Amino acid sequence: MSKKNSEWDSYTGRLLWAMSRAGKTNQSELARAVGVKPQSIQYLCDPNAGARGSSHTPSLARELGVGAEWLATGQGQPTGAMALGTREAASPGYAVRQVDAGQSRALRVTGAVRVGPHVGAQPGELHRTDLAKGQADGYLTLPLMLPGPPVVLRVQGAALAPGIKDGQFLVLQAVHDALQLEPEDTLLITLTDGRVMLRELMVVRETSLLVLPMAGGQPEPLAREDIASIELIVCVVPRRWWRVGA
């Protein structure tokens, strides 16, 4: 086994190799570019820490110009057809265009989402409740133009904090073609068995999606045949935009 391949045996080794290759060996600068604390990068770069991965892998991979799947698992090659080094190289995603506040759009809140508890729930599993057709739990007024009719859900409970807080709202856009997604997209995924999960996308494969739990952990593949629907989280909206009524 070559020295280079040996370096790739661990997450830390792959990260250090990618940093060297990209000429971005300053850990503090890399932390600022990715939006994390310097201590997080120091931990990931410490061979003695035994880091097995990071929820920031997609951001690190994009910044360093390597494939997120390779950085996370060591599978495949660091660069190539599956490595999306820049946003321009990625498949077109859903654009969100900001407009003047005077052109605000009223979006009806048609359900809620929370993390358990419910019968048979797994740790971190979401429970989604949709109101009956025609009903609404108030509405949001947003200065946004969205690509098609969105769905708005209220967040209940603090289990998704600090990124998403109790009482905030998720603005969702249905995804009909996984190729329209990009690494780092946050997705609300409903499986054919009824389970609902919030995940960050790493890689779109031919027969599956490789995703990361939002709270951190190891990448997990989701077979496309097991996915009933995918909704892209376009934005998280604070409660200040909510209004009573339909």
Instruction: Give the CATH number, domain containing residue 9.
Output: 1.10.260.40
Work out how many domains the chain is built from and give that number: 2
Please check whether residues 30 and 124 belong to one and the same domain: no
pLDDT digits (tens, 9 = 90+) for 100-149: 334 556 788 999 988 766 666 666 678 888 999 889 988 887 656 666 77
Please check whether residues 77 and 104 belong to one and the same domain: no
Please check whether residues 58 and 109 belong to one and the same domain: no
Alpha helices in 51-124 (DSSP H): 57-64, 68-73
81 near 89, Cβ under 8 Å? no
Asked if residue 197 is part of any domain, the answer here is yes
Please check whether residues 126 and 59 belong to one and the same domain: no
pLDDT digits (tens, 9 = 90+) for 61-114: 888 988 888 888 888 778 743 333 333 333 333 233 333 334 556 788 999 988
- Domain residues for the domain of 108 are 97-243
CB atoms within 10 A of CB 89: 10
Please check whether residues 83 and 109 belong to one and the same domain: no
User: 61, 87, 113 — which closes off a domain?
Assistant: 87
